[in-house]
Chain A
Amino acid sequence: MKEPLSEFFYQSFHSLAGAYIHIPFCKQACIYCDFHFSTLEKDRGAMTMAIIKEAQLRKDFLPQQALKSIYFGGGTPSVVPIADIEKIIEALDNLYGIDASAEITLEANPDDLNEAYLTELSRSPVNRLSIGIQSFKEADLSFMNRAHSAKEAIGCLESLAKYGFDNYSIDLIYGLPNQSPEDWLWQMEHLKTFDIPHFSAYALTVESKTKLAYLQAKGAVELKDENAAKHFELLQDFAKKEGYEHYELSNFARPGKRAVHNGSYWEGTAYLGLGPSAHSYNGKERSWNVANNALYLKALEQDGLALEKEILEEKDRFNEMLMTRLRLLEGISEREINSFSPVFQRHWLKESRKLLATGKLVQFSEGYRIPSEWRFFSDGIAADLFYT
């Protein structure tokens, strides 16, 4: 039997959708990174055409409505010529149309953001940048094996205004080995200096099969949760004092500057993912491309897709809803819980009561959220609420 989609789902999935384009190339590998990318240059030309072809083949994945957001992520999108980025945008416009107020973001690394590149970029449809600063300290950057220098990090931020970019974000990583609370406070000072409209601050995570995991296993680096927790606390204080909304666990924005595209991941709206390793979601199924450039290109060369998918049952959607919404300042709305079947509503009622009693969850007018002192435990709290 086909499960009737609730009104709520209709609203989410038949209104605004976003597109994510994965650019799977980097100049060099950062030690912590487990995103899919290749440091070889050979396939860069073929990739743009393959991505456009994929968009055409999967035209029916999203409802026929103008896109509200486009996001070029990676890897490092700033290593491909802007002309290629424009081609992809144009193809999407032909297929779906792009909303006049759509957010079009490009992830860029500081070493690519030179004057020539910024000039070209300012003339393109790209209207938002996400810049991978990570740290303003030279020693950190070389520890992470970043391609840019501290000077380049500062330099690119200084030029942005000149080219009219007032909508951008920077990425920072905290909880680095040997990073003291003072170091981290010093990093955050830069946010004030440049009056950054939006930033992401990530606690350094050891992903398996990375150089960082190897160094940790060998005992060459030691990461302490308590450092990350301390930095997170400083971060929360900073955001409050400086007027940033801590709207998602790792994301901070000046009022009105929240990321539209990334919001679709946390709010559960539809997105189409193009390019190797990119994931897509339409409310019922999640699919993903093979995380291998050669296999991806080969499939598309033959007008095929190298795509896998899974159908999400209501239980899966419920659990994902918990996992993602509880990262948000706005938490979970009563209305959304009520969009699930009665079994889930009853489950929620029973399980949430226990957490409300311990203060790990608080109720407010529109719903439920994790209070700031427990936010660094969001995953565990979500898991406690899971339906299994």
Chain B
Amino acid sequence: MKMKEIRNFCIIAHIDHGKSTLADRLLEHTQTISDREKKDQLLDDMDLERERGITIKSHAIQMNYLSNGEVYTLNLIDTPGHVDFSYEVSRAIAACEGALLVVDAAQGIQAQTISNLYLALEHDLEIIPVLNKVDLPSANPDEVKDQIIDLIGCEEEDILMASAKTGLGINDILEAVVERIPAPEGDPDAPLQALIFDSVYNPYRGIEAFFKVVNGKIRKGEQVKFMNTGSKYYADEIGVLKLGQESRKEIGTGNVGYIISGIKEAKEVKVGDTITSFERPASAAIEGFENVKPMVFAGIYPVDTEEFEELRASLEKLQLNDASLTFEPESSAALGFGFRCGFLGMLHMEIIQERLDREFNMTVITTVPNVSYYAYMKKEPDSKVIVNNPSEFPDPTKMERMEEPYIKAQIITKADYVGAVMNLAIEKRGQLKNQVYLTSERVEMTFDMPLAEIVFDFYDRLKSISRGYASFDYHPVGYRESDMVKVDVMLNGEPVDALSALIHRSNSYDIGKKICEKLKELIPRQQFMIAIQAAIGAKIIARETLSALRKDVTAKCYGGDISRKRKLLEKQKAGKKRMRQVGNVEIPQQAFLAVLKLND
């Protein structure tokens, strides 16, 4: 196979604009999958993706396509649309020369259409705009075409009309991929340089790494070196990514493949690393990926305290497949040993917790998430102390000031919802910076806001006040001085560090009160009374009492009651799975996240 017959491209878009469905049609059209293998959003192969109907992981797959008498090798990468998984998009982009920018013909350009487009342009990708869902009665192709032309400065003819649902326009898309996207460049005769863009732990096969060969080629059995870690391995198995993996003797320049090489430790593989030949090494590694900056931090603790080391091993393995996860050990008086983990957002945090459970059988408790603050002490006012955890909050009397991270938020919504969005932003300590009417109907609003206010329930609230007609994107804009306090929670007089939260002074009393109320609702009654208190320093700011449970049995138990009751108790028991004993009080997972649910 010659390089000029390879095309590497990804599908990028705002969430739900139809990337994975479009991938289905491309796979069918190229007969990469058989009729029997067909199913909706086939590349969303994790249970979690299927249950939630969203893509979480980028997924690479190779197709063969016949055009003008030539057989082309098309390496496609389907990417997620949700902001929390944007690191997946950026790594996919690094392995491609072109991108299909999919835009929903009914919804038009949305926040992640723009941010993902810029990511692709930064890497000089050829952009093919695809107007999808033109079959929808609510589609507005003419207006959305204008938006696309405005955004990327293309010609109207460049925009392909498609429906991933009906299959309209699929052939045109494949033709455009062949014609418009350049073949990979690279020197087949140069020493091997292959960029690792993803990896995964497979319990049966060991660690698998996915790469794109940038220069040279890789052969089965040869000795290779991972340039950053310096480790050497034999390429025991290499191959290409079809619906399953297909082994090959050789993967040439410009192509995408996988390697299995007896790597023992998860730590030995890093996405962004370069694979080279041991015999004839390249002089330098390819530029890898920028490290991701976590947006939120939370503690992850095993429910069973004895599983700390197992949790570490699981996190290391999970990190192979999720390079945006960061973690380091921490300890809590209430919960024992665990890890402070960094996430790109709340959905990311939820997914990590779920994946630990499903893929590694680790039941964990996650604690109140927070952003990363800077504290400056009176003694050394010029050196900042990083506070990623309420327990690191310094003694306020010795602190000169504190800073919190701010972001620029871009919200695109309908004119009707401008007022509601404004109120929400103000409630979240936001400041309006700019407001532009994109059309008479669509408005783009830009706010400066503390990151802490948006990572929690902002997105859900935004969606509900705008009935779904608002999209949202944000970028960090640095730190600003802020008056933060630490609100502690005590159960029966004992402080529970894992329930502490850092909160802006202006609403600390109000939130302290709401936390107590919420905990009262979330902690199940136990066989003794529980006093729930919130305090700032030594000052108690709120109190609730949870009365003792005195009865936990139904009076009757006859023929008809038995199945019903068993099912009810089984459900209750399942709810108890994520409970952690702190002192003598059993605290359910939801209680640790109570701060996030104060408005429910």
Flag if A323 contacts B559 (CB, 8 Å): no
In whole angstroms, how far apart are the Cα atoms of A288 and B550 in the complex? Answer: 33
Interface locus among B139-147, B320-328, B338-346, B564-572: B564-572
Flag if B570 contacts A319 (CB, 8 Å): yes
In whole angstroms, how far apart are the Cα atoms of A168 and B278 in the complex? Answer: 91
Flag whether B423 is at the interface (Cβ < 8 A): no
Question: What residues of chain B lie closer than 8 Å to A249, measured between beta carbons?
Answer: 553, 555, 557
In whole angstroms, how far apart are the Cα atoms of A20 and B562 in the complex? Answer: 15
Query: Considering the complex, which residues of chain B in the window 187-204 have a beta carbon less than 8 Å from any beta carbon of chain A?
Result: none
In whole angstroms, how far apart are the Cα atoms of A255 and B194 in the complex? Answer: 84
Query: Contacts A203-B551, A376-B550, A376-B551 known; A262 to B560 CB distance under 8 Å?
Result: no
- Per-residue CB proximity of A60-73 to B under 8 Å, as 1/0? 00000000000001
* CB contact between B559 and one of A204, A279, A310 (< 8 Å): that residue: A279
In whole angstroms, how far apart are the Cα atoms of A265 and B558 in the complex? Answer: 6
Question: What residues of chain B lie closer than 8 Å to A265, measured between beta carbons?
Answer: 557-559, 562
Flag if A380 contacts B562 (CB, 8 Å): no
Complex A-B: 25 CB contacts under 8 Å: A20-B559, A202-B555, A202-B556, A205-B554, A225-B551, A228-B551, A229-B550, A249-B555, A250-B555, A265-B557, A271-B559, A279-B560, A279-B562, A279-B563, A286-B563, A310-B563, A323-B565, A324-B562, A327-B557, A377-B553, A379-B553, A379-B565, A383-B569, A383-B576, A386-B570
Flag whether B151 is at the interface (Cβ < 8 A): no
Flag whether A278 is at the interface (Cβ < 8 A): yes
- Name the residue among B554, B559, B563, B576 with the largest chain A CB count within 10 angstroms: B559
* CB contact between A225 and one of B550, B566, B572 (< 8 Å): that residue: B550
Flag whether B573 is at the interface (Cβ < 8 A): yes
* CB contact between B560 and one of A204, A226, A277 (< 8 Å): that residue: A277
Question: What residues of chain A lie closer than 8 Å to B560, measured between beta carbons?
Answer: 277-279, 288
> When A and B form their complex, which 6 residue pairs have the shortest distance between CB atoms, in order from nearest?
A279-B559, A229-B550, A202-B555, A380-B552, A225-B550, A383-B569
Flag whether A378 is at the interface (Cβ < 8 A): yes
- Per-residue CB proximity of B495-528 to A under 8 Å, as 1/0? 0000000000000000000000000000000010
In whole angstroms, how far apart are the Cα atoms of A323 and B557 in the complex? Answer: 9
Flag if A377 contacts B551 (CB, 8 Å): yes
In whole angstroms, how far apart are the Cα atoms of A277 and B556 in the complex? Answer: 16
Question: What residues of chain A lie closer than 8 Å to B569, measured between beta carbons?
Answer: 319, 323, 379, 382-383, 386
- Name the residue among B551, B554, B563, B573 with the largest chain A CB count within 10 angstroms: B551
Flag whether A136 is at the interface (Cβ < 8 A): no
The size of the chain A interface, using a CB distance under 8 A, is 44
- Name the residue among A262, A320, A383 with the largest chain B CB count within 10 angstroms: A383
Flag whether B574 is at the interface (Cβ < 8 A): yes
Question: What residues of chain B lie closer than 8 Å to A250, measured between beta carbons?
Answer: 555-557
Query: Contacts A279-B559, A320-B566, A323-B565 known; A384 to B552 CB distance under 8 Å?
Result: no
In whole angstroms, how far apart are the Cα atoms of A73 and B547 in the complex? Answer: 38
Query: Considering the complex, which residues of chain A in the window 175-189 have a beta carbon less than 8 Å from any beta carbon of chain B?
Result: none
Query: Contacts A383-B569, A386-B573 known; A378 to B563 CB distance under 8 Å?
Result: no
In whole angstroms, how far apart are the Cα atoms of A310 and B563 in the complex? Answer: 9
In whole angstroms, how far apart are the Cα atoms of A339 and B373 in the complex? Answer: 59
Question: What residues of chain B lie closer than 8 Å to A386, measured between beta carbons?
Answer: 569-570, 573
A166 shortest CB reach to chain B, Å? 24
- Name the residue among A204, A324, A381 with the largest chain B CB count within 10 angstroms: A324
Nearest-CB residue, chain A, relative to B574: A388
Flag if B570 contacts A205 (CB, 8 Å): no
Flag whether B149 is at the interface (Cβ < 8 A): no
Flag if A323 contacts B555 (CB, 8 Å): no
Flag whether B549 is at the interface (Cβ < 8 A): yes
Question: What residues of chain B lie closer than 8 Å to A226, measured between beta carbons?
Answer: 547-548, 550
Flag if A388 contacts B570 (CB, 8 Å): yes
Query: Contacts A266-B557, A386-B573 known; A319 to B566 CB distance under 8 Å?
Result: yes
Query: Considering the complex, which residues of chain A in the window 255-282 have a beta carbon less than 8 Å from any beta carbon of chain B?
Result: 262, 265-266, 271, 273, 277-281
* CB contact between B558 and one of A225, A262, A384 (< 8 Å): that residue: A262
B573 shortest CB reach to chain A, Å? 5
Question: What residues of chain A lie closer than 8 Å to B558, measured between beta carbons?
Answer: 73, 262, 265
Question: What residues of chain B lie closer than 8 Å to A375, measured between beta carbons?
Answer: 553
Flag if A205 contacts B562 (CB, 8 Å): no
Question: What residues of chain B lie closer than 8 Å to A237, measured between beta carbons?
Answer: none
Flag whether A93 is at the interface (Cβ < 8 A): no
* CB contact between B552 and one of A279, A286, A320, A378 (< 8 Å): that residue: A378
Nearest-CB residue, chain B, relative to A224: B550
B556 shortest CB reach to chain A, Å? 6
Flag whether A316 is at the interface (Cβ < 8 A): yes
In whole angstroms, how far apart are the Cα atoms of A228 and B559 in the complex? Answer: 24
In whole angstroms, how far apart are the Cα atoms of A296 and B527 in the complex? Answer: 44
In whole angstroms, how far apart are the Cα atoms of A189 and B562 in the complex? Answer: 32
Query: Considering the complex, which residues of chain B in the window 544-600 have a beta carbon less than 8 Å from any beta carbon of chain A?
Result: 547-560, 562-563, 565-566, 569-570, 572-574, 576
Apart from the given pairs A310-B563, A379-B553, A388-B570, 6 other A-B contacts in the complex at a CB distance below 8 Å: A279-B559, A281-B562, A286-B563, A324-B557, A324-B562, A378-B553
